C-alpha cells in the first residue's frame, strides 16, 4: 500500500499552516499535533449568524454571508468531530436555526442554500432556478447529513423526530433508480451515525450498499463520480467491509493526487459563470477548498495508518 512520505506530509502541513483558512489550520493542529479543541470552536463561531445558522463561505462554493442548511450541516459535522454536545452554544444556535427553517420551502425539508446566495458569488450549481429539482427536492441532501450530525451531537428535538422515517423512505425510493453521489455521501454519514444493530441502520444499509456499488461502477466507466472513500472514509465506517478493495485503490490513488504546494486541489471550477467578479471569488474559494481537501486527505490516509510524520 502506498504511504504518504514524511516529506509529502510536511509539505501538506506547510500548506495548511501557510495558506489554509484559520479553521482548517486549527483543526489540523488539533487532530495531528494535539492542540486543544477550543480554538477550533472559537474559529467556527465566526461563521455563525445571529439567527443561529452558519454561512460566510463555510462551504466555499457559496460565498454568501447568509445562513443556509448546507453550511449549517458542515458546522454541525465539525462540532461533532471536535467532541461538542447538544448543550454547546454553537449547537444550540444551529438547532434553533434548523427548527425555525424546517419546512420553509416544502414540508419536512431544508432548502440546501438560501435564496440570498444568489446575491453573492457562487458555483453555477447553486443557481436558484430549479434548485429543488436538481437536488432531489432536498429529501436526502442536506437532510440525511443534518440528521446524522444531530444524532452524533445527542440532539433530541420533537420537531425532528419524524424525519428519520422520511429519510429512510426517500433513500429506498432513490436507491431503486440510482442514487446521486452527494445523496449517497449524506446517507453514508447517517448510516455511520445510527445506533449499531438498530433496524434503521440495517434498513439504510440494505438500500445504500447496492446503490453505492452501482454508483462506483458508473464512476469507474466515466472517470467522474463517487469514490469508495466517500461512503467509507475510515476503517470503522459501516460500508468499509463491503468495499475493501475499492477503498484500498482509492487510498493508493489519494497519495498520488497530492499537487502543487503539497496540497490536494479541487478538480472542478466555476468556469466562466458570473464573469470577472466570480472568477476572482473562485480563486479565493479554490484555495479554501484546497485547505479543506488537504485536511480531508490527511485524515483519510491517517485513519488507514498510511502517513509517515517523521
SS3 state at 114: coil
DSSP 3-state percent helix, strand, coil across the chain (nearest 5): 60, 0, 35
Give the count of beta carbons closer than 10 Å to the beta carbon of residue 224.
Answer: 10
Q: How far apart are CA 296 and CA 90, in angstroms?
A: 23
Q: Which of 15, 123, 101 is nearest to 51 (CA)?
A: 101
pLDDT score for 10: 98
**Residues listed for the chain:** 310
Which pLDDT score is estimated for 127? 96
Distance in angstroms (rounded) separating the CA atoms of residues 67 and 57? 10
C-alpha cell at 240: 468499509
> Quick check: 40 and 308 in contact, CB under 8 A?
no
Nearest of 163, 181, 36 to residue 102 by alpha carbon: 163
What are the residue ranges in the chain where pLDDT is below 50? none
Distance between CA atoms of residues 161 and 168, nearest Å: 13
Residue in 201, 211, 216 with CA at minimum distance from that of residue 168: 201
User: How deeply is 152 buried, as exposed, middle or buried, from its count of CB atoms within 10 A (0-12, 13-18, 19+)?
Assistant: buried
* Residues facing 307 on adjacent strands: 4
Q: What does the pLDDT read at residue 222? A: 84
Q: Report yes or no on whether pTM surpasses 0.95.
A: yes
Amino acid at each position: 500500500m502506498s504511504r504518504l512520505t514524511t516529506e509529502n506530509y510536511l509539505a501538506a502541513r506547510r500548506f495548511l499552516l501557510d495558506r489554509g483558512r484559520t479553521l482548517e489550520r486549527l483543526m489540523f493542529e488539533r487532530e495531528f499535533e494535539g492542540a486543544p479543541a477550543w480554538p477550533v470552536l472559537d474559529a467556527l463561531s465566526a461563521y455563525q449568524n445571529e439567527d443561529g445558522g452558519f454561512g460566510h463561505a463555510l462551504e466555499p462554493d457559496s460565498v454568501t454571508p447568509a445562513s443556509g442548511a448546507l453550511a449549517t450541516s458542515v458546522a454541525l459535522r465539525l462540532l461533532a468531530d471536535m467532541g461538542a454536545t447538544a448543550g454547546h452554544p454553537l449547537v444550540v444556535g444551529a438547532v434553533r436555526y434548523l427548527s425555525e427553517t424546517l419546512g420553509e420551502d416544502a414540508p419536512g425539508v431544508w432548502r440546501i442554500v438560501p435564496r440570498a446566495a444568489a446575491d453573492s458569488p457562487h458555483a453555477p450549481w447553486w443557481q436558484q432556478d430549479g434548485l429543488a429539482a436538481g437536488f432531489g427536492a432536498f429529501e436526502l441532501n442536506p437532510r440525511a447529513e443534518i440528521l446524522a450530525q444531530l444524532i452524533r451531537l445527542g440532539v433530541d428535538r420533537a420537531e425532528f423526530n419524524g424525519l428519520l422515517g422520511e429519510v429512510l423512505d426517500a433513500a429506498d425510493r432513490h436507491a431503486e433508480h440510482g442514487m446521486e453521489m452527494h445523496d449517497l455521501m449524506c446517507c453514508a454519514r447517517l448510516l455511520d451515525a445510527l445506533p449499531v444493530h438498530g433496524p434503521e441502520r440495517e434498513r439504510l444499509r440494505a438500500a445504500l450498499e447496492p446503490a453505492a456499488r452501482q454508483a462506483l461502477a458508473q464512476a469507474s466507466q466515466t472517470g467522474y463520480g463517487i469514490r469508495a472513500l466517500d461512503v467509507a472514509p475510515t476503517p470503522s465506517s459501516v460500508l468499509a467491509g463491503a468495499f475493501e478493495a475499492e477503498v484500498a485503490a482509492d487510498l493508493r490513488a489519494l497519495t498520488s493526487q497530492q499537487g502543487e504546494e503539497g496540497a490536494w486541489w479541487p478538480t472542478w471550477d466555476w468556469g466562466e459563470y458570473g464573469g470577472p467578479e466570480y472568477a476572482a471569488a473562485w480563486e479565493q474559494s479554490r484555495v479554501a477548498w484546497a485547505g479543506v481537501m488537504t485536511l480531508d486527505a490527511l485524515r483519510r490516509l491517517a485513519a488507514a495508518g498510511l502517513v509517515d510524520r517523521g
